Amino acid sequence: MNSNNKSSAQPVGQVIKIQIVFLVMSLFLLILVTVFHDSVNGFVWLRSGGLAILSLIFLGFGFKLKEKKRSAYVRIMIISIAGALGIFALAIGGGDVYPLWMRIEQGIQGILLIMIIIILIRPQNRIIFYTGRGKNKK
């Protein structure tokens, strides 16, 4: 049992570390938007503020992973996939709404989200959060 806790702690720890980097980048983005407030529009304010709040919630789900909560696993996967797709959409269709420095920062955050997805979809990590639903139970 102890070895199982140790084996599950490593990927969860990796996810939390990536989420902390994600949060720091989100807060840094919010600081940049505040500093350059004259040169950014409302979309940039909305995105950076919302991202900072979402990053805090996202990290909270990361800490729930330590408790092996499947609901946290599912939420992190949904946020990571939706976030990566959203950043991809921003990259290809953002037009002139977002400045280049924000697109670069968002691209890095997209890579972080993909890293989380890769860590969590590995079979040895996915099994930690497996509930056994869908199997024939007597």
For 105-128, how does the pLDDT look when each residue is reduced to its tens digit (9 = 90+)? 889 999 999 999 999 999 888 887
DSSP one-letter code for 132: -
User: What is the pTM assigned to this prediction?
Assistant: 0.83
Judge contact between 33 and 45, C-beta under 8 A. yes
Residue 77 in contact with residue 117, Cβ under 8 Å?
yes
Distance from C-alpha of 33 to C-alpha of 20, rounded to nearest angstrom: 20
Kindly report, residue by residue over 90-109, the tens digit of the pLDDT.
777 766 778 888 888 889 99
